Structure 1
């Protein structure tokens, strides 16, 4: 056995691969006099340096926000100590307890009144003035919107009234034509009963002989005929001599040239005053239609809305006298 083997039996060999090294403890050596002088010099310089406006404003804002964020009084506050000496306890209201009804909650403040910081430099009443102006502007906008809505509603109502009046005017002219047609049919039947074989030439009647209910229709037709004759007469006067007479000229051309005495009579009727017709034309269109419909039912048993002439005055089968009854 070698000496090396005998040494291994007595003590273990060192394993340098798995060795661990402990960290050295931090030095607890105090700072030197020179280091302490330098540190104190830096702190003194920092304290002696004046703060900028931005830094002062930031510190002030931080203090203000810290104070506003807390709703409780600081126990180290001098005011708190004075109130505590008078019996105040944190979380309770100031002053004597109020006499409230049973079950009612005490409405006294338990926290200090909050602060509201003003960012602007305007006076105390400036906000109220701004609010008043804003309120006036809002009210003006609302009034304008309301006025526009009213005007739009009035415009629609006016259009609806105009459409309804125009529709009733069409009904009025239709009822006039029916009255005139039924009147002419009755006159033709009476004439044929009196003279069945005799020819019945159509003669022009005086304007005022027509019933006032449809006299407007007769007058308007006469005015249109007169205007047509005048235009035709003007055209003929420009194309031939006035003393020329054509034997082959038909009756319509002769009437257009105003060569008949009865035509002249009609023209005279158109120029005369007609008080009865003026009063009737002053009525509302709805009232005219109502009178025409009533006259048709009463005299000829004719329903303007049914467009039918009944056999007797009972008019059995007619739903009513108004247009709404026939919807």
Structure 2
């Protein structure tokens, strides 16, 4: 090895190398690269050409911030008619002072679209209200019909019970007077099944001609018979001595008068 060549293993060569901590050089290089990247972005932003929308926005804001000059034909006509800057519009100066504000559309809807949407929403809301109201009316009517039906069924059951009680009383009172055949077949309770079959065979043609009355009419006729013949009131459950005793002590000839 010649004297001019450095000995990489000698102390003189090693002493010339700077003592650098591991990772420090890498961090510095990363920071420098980030700075260069930021400068590059800023340069691109400054040098890039503005879009048409950006130029339009800047022009609009600049125009709105500056007042109308005398060169404007409309403003010149207003001044000829006596208008002064800062004065309200109109003969008395009671009109607008500030210009009508701009309402920039940001969507793709046509003119009047918002009003159409508003009218549609109001119409749908009104239809919904009518639907809810109709539903409530139907529910109320259904409830009233149900209550009426329950009252009717209750009244019918009561009439049937009064009629059966009157028939039993009529059979008993008729028997006490020696009457063996009721004035009308339905004046007495229905007979047994076997007897009913035999009598049905014998009097079939006659029974076919009989038109059965509703229970309410049967009750009225039968109670009138009991009061007139036996001086008996179904709702009092009492047989009175005579017609005078019945009229004096019985409240009346209907169930409502006994409540």
Post-superposition CA distance 1:295-319 (Å, at most 9, x none): 3784345263x55566623244738
Partner of 2:49: 50
Q: In the alignment, is the contact (CA less than 8 A) between 1:301 and 1:309 conserved in 2?
A: yes
Post-superposition CA distance 1:161-211 (Å, at most 9, x none): 22112111211111112221221232122129xxxxxxxxxx6x58x8335
Give me the whole-angstrom Cα distance separating, in 2, the residues matched to 1:265 and 1:320. Answer: 34
Partner of 1:110: 96
Is 1:276 paired with 2:182?
Answer: no
Relative to structure 1, the CA distance from residue 308 to residue 50 in structure 2 (aligned partners, 3 Å threshold; closer, same or farther) is: farther
Give me the whole-angstrom Cα distance separating, in 2, the residues matched to 1:294 and 1:54. Answer: 99
Relative to structure 1, the CA distance from residue 46 to residue 184 in structure 2 (aligned partners, 3 Å threshold; closer, same or farther) is: closer
- Highest RCO, 1 vs 2 (Cα 8 Å, sep ≥ 6): 1
Q: In the alignment, is the contact (CA less than 8 A) between 2:162 and 2:234 conserved in 1?
A: no
Q: In the alignment, is the contact (CA less than 8 A) between 2:223 and 2:233 conserved in 1?
A: no
| Corresponding residue to 1:153 among 125, 140, 162 | 140
Q: In the alignment, is the contact (CA less than 8 A) between 2:166 and 2:223 conserved in 1?
A: no
Give me the whole-angstrom Cα distance separating, in 2, the residues matched to 1:75 and 1:179. Answer: 105
Post-superposition CA distance 1:260-309 (Å, at most 9, x none): xx8512444467314431xx23xxx7x548736963784345263x5556
Give me the whole-angstrom Cα distance separating, in 2, the residues matched to 1:53 and 1:153. Answer: 64
Q: Which runs of 5+ in 1 are unaligned?
A: 1-44, 98-105, 193-202, 230-254, 256-261
| Corresponding residue to 1:302 among 220, 230, 233 | 233
**Secondary structure of the equivalent of 1:93?**
coil
Relative to structure 1, the CA distance from residue 131 to residue 146 in structure 2 (aligned partners, 3 Å threshold; closer, same or farther) is: same
| Corresponding residue to 1:84 among 79, 82, 107 | 79
Q: In the alignment, is the contact (CA less than 8 A) between 1:168 and 1:289 conserved in 2?
A: no
Q: In the alignment, is the contact (CA less than 8 A) between 1:74 and 1:80 conserved in 2?
A: no
Q: Which runs of 5+ in 2 are unaligned?
A: 1-43
Post-superposition CA distance 1:187-241 (Å, at most 9, x none): 122129xxxxxxxxxx6x58x8335xx57xx4xx45xx43xx5xxxxxxxxxxxx
Give me the whole-angstrom Cα distance separating, in 1, the residues matched to 2:106 and 2:201. Answer: 91
Give me the whole-angstrom Cα distance separating, in 1, the residues matched to 2:77 and 2:253. Answer: 95
Relative to structure 1, the CA distance from residue 46 to residue 151 in structure 2 (aligned partners, 3 Å threshold; closer, same or farther) is: closer
Task: Report the more deviating stretch, 142-151 or 74-83.
Answer: 74-83
Give me the whole-angstrom Cα distance separating, in 2, the residues matched to 1:128 and 1:52. Answer: 32
- Richer in helix (by share): 2
Give the TM-score, by structure 2 length.
Answer: 0.57
Give me the whole-angstrom Cα distance separating, in 2, the residues matched to 1:169 and 1:54. Answer: 84
Q: CA deviation at 1:160?
A: 1.3
Q: In the alignment, is the contact (CA less than 8 A) between 2:226 and 2:233 conserved in 1?
A: yes
Q: CA deviation at 1:80?
A: 4.4
Is 1:313 paired with 2:246?
Answer: yes
Post-superposition CA distance 1:29-54 (Å, at most 9, x none): xxxxxxxxxxxxxxxx9986522578
| Corresponding residue to 1:291 among 195, 203, 220 | 220
Is 1:93 paired with 2:80?
Answer: no
Q: In the alignment, is the contact (CA less than 8 A) between 2:233 and 2:253 conserved in 1?
A: no
